[in-house]
Amino acid sequence: MPGNDVILRFDKVSFEYDRRPILREADFSVREGSKIALMGQNGAGKTTIFQMITGTLVPESGSITVTEDATIATARQVIPADLMGLTVKEFFESAFRKKQYDIEPKIEKILEVVHLKIPIERTLKSLSGGQQARILLAQALIQDPDILLLDEPTNNLDKQGIAHLTEFLAAYPKTCIVISHDADFLNSFTHGVLYLDVFTHKVEQYAGDYSDVTKEISIRLERERMKNVRLEKDIAHRKDQAGFFAQKGGHMRDVARKMREKIEKLEEDIVEMRHEDKTIRSFVIPCQENLSGKILDLASVSIIKNHRPAVKKVDVTLKKKERLLLAGPNGIGKTTLLEKLASGHAKGECIAPGVRIGYYRQDFSTLDFTATVYSTLAAAIKDNGTEQELRSAAAGFLLNAEILRTKIGLLSEGQKGLVAFARLTLLHPGILILDEPTNHINFRHIPVIAKALDRYEGAMILVSHVPEFVKQIKIDHVLDLEAL
């Protein structure tokens, strides 16, 4: 349970990024040993708050106080591209300022904590997305920090991995702050919530778990809405009266003036309503026209078992409106298979010539991080659409004019996911290849995405460790790589 001493405090902290306000006089404190969820809409600035806690970013005003000598470690969402060439051992060594002479036993122990068995000589780029997620978590844990910052730690983890992480965090004796859209995960161990409002740029602090807080926010919103309704009704009535008296002249004009002053005071009492996280609009991914016959013919696959590759024969074909769920544990080769299919370099696997591929990669590497959102979507249109359709698609995925001008690399991971989906709608693919498409995505959007995929009329290959998401999509074939 949390102690009485405050280990972290934000005091009237304000911060802007690229001339966009992120925080305005944020005030909150975190006690030693507490487990806190940091919530907020995609792009609100949750990861920015983590960077300010670690000192990577400095506030423009206000102060951030961390208990003297308290250590901090962050498990980021993704491994930076410039570190992908490191070995597992080198990546762990990079977490420490001083050389660690006895690090190998520590690595072995911490890999057991995150339920991962891999040779430490392997390079990071050779690992699957799920393995990379566990490595990111393990690199933070090996430092045994006083403040542990976790940024979407359940992304890419299978059910077993999430259960293992939940058990560990529940027993973790030190302070932990977690960014996650997984309600069940947060409810299992958190003591409180910090809510970053994307509209007011304020941080609100609540006691209780995720469900308690969302219920409390809903009750408060309804109370504020009813208060505003009463005030607006009173203001409208007084305005009618003031207009009537003003036309009478003489003393009645003084009465009208006093009424207008009262109206101004009432208008000041109207509460600025919090706009809850918006949900993306329902959308359709149009299928490439004039498709017929086999779209995919899968004769063999390469899998990884006991860290060794093995080729297995399979017999899978896909036509229009047929969907394949590719299953198996982290590291068995699912992402590698999808990459080969999308690139056309697969052996024993073939996508029919002329079929347009819509590939959603879990690391968003199909997107050019130096390009703007607008140019990315424009490149997807080509001869398939118009400027109006581009802007309409962008608006449906909450990509406003400001975001359209922004470079992909400056977006949050959740916003990159929305760009990737907007791009698919403009591409008109004949086959969708989807690798963990719910990672980083706000939970409000997931049912909308599932509905769009279920209605898609082309062929589809899906990898997802989220059963609730998969259940919403009609699946025709399941290929479990572990069972081969």
384 lies in a domain? yes
* Residues 423, 305 share a domain: yes
- Whether 449 shows a pLDDT value over 90: the answer reads yes
24 lies in a domain? yes
List the structure tokens of 401: 């004019």
Torsion angle of C-alpha atoms 41, 47, 52, 53, degrees rounded to 10: 100
Which neighbouring-strand residues pair with 192? 36, 207
Decide which of 197, 214, 231 is a domain's last residue.
214
| 1 — pLDDT class (breaks 50, 70, 90) | low
The distance from CA 137 to its chain's CA centroid, rounded to whole angstroms, is 16
80 lies in a domain? no
* Residues 184, 62 share a domain: yes
CATH code: domain of residue 399: 3.40.50.300
Which structural domain, as residue segments, surrounds residue 311? 296-483
What was the pLDDT predicted at 209?
A: 77
- Whether 248 shows a pLDDT value over 90: the answer reads no
| 272 — pLDDT class (breaks 50, 70, 90) | low
| 85 — pLDDT class (breaks 50, 70, 90) | very high
Number of domains the chain contains: 2
- Whether 55 shows a pLDDT value over 90: the answer reads yes
Decide the pairing of beta strands 296-305 and 349-351. antiparallel
425 lies in a domain? yes
Q: What would the mean pLDDT of 49-58 be, rounded to a whole number?
A: 94
- Whether 108 shows a pLDDT value over 70: the answer reads yes
What was the pLDDT predicted at 425?
A: 95
- Whether 267 shows a pLDDT value over 80: the answer reads no
Can you tell me the distance from the alpha carbon of 98 to that of 101, in angstroms, rounded to the nearest whole number? 9
Share of the chain above pLDDT 90, in %: 50
* Residues 325, 178 share a domain: no
169 lies in a domain? yes
* Residues 303, 202 share a domain: no
* Residues 209, 300 share a domain: no
* Residues 207, 61 share a domain: yes
Region at 43 (left for phi over 0; alpha for psi -120 to 50; beta for the rest): left
Can you tell me the distance from the alpha carbon of 142 to that of 135, in angstroms, rounded to the nearest whole number? 10
Residue 215, CA distances (Å) to 190, 191, 210, 232 in order: 16, 15, 9, 26
- The per-residue pLDDT of the chain, averaged, comes to 88
228 lies in a domain? no
Decide which of 159, 183, 214 is a domain's last residue.
214
What one-letter code names the amino acid at 174? K
More confident of the two residues 274 and 308: 308
Q: What would the mean pLDDT of 363-389 be, rounded to a whole number?
A: 88
Which neighbouring-strand residues pair with 35? 176
DSSP letter string over 417-443?
Answer: HHHHHHHHHHH--SEEEEESTTTT--T
315 lies in a domain? yes
Which range among 191-195, 250-254, 286-290, 361-365 shows the weakest confidence by mean pLDDT? 250-254
CA triple 303-304-308, angle to 5 deg? 125
* Residues 445, 330 share a domain: yes
| 399 — pLDDT class (breaks 50, 70, 90) | very high
Q: Tens of pLDDT along 126-153?
A: 888 778 888 998 999 999 999 999 988 8
* Residues 444, 315 share a domain: yes
Decide which of 183, 214, 245 is a domain's last residue.
214
32 lies in a domain? yes
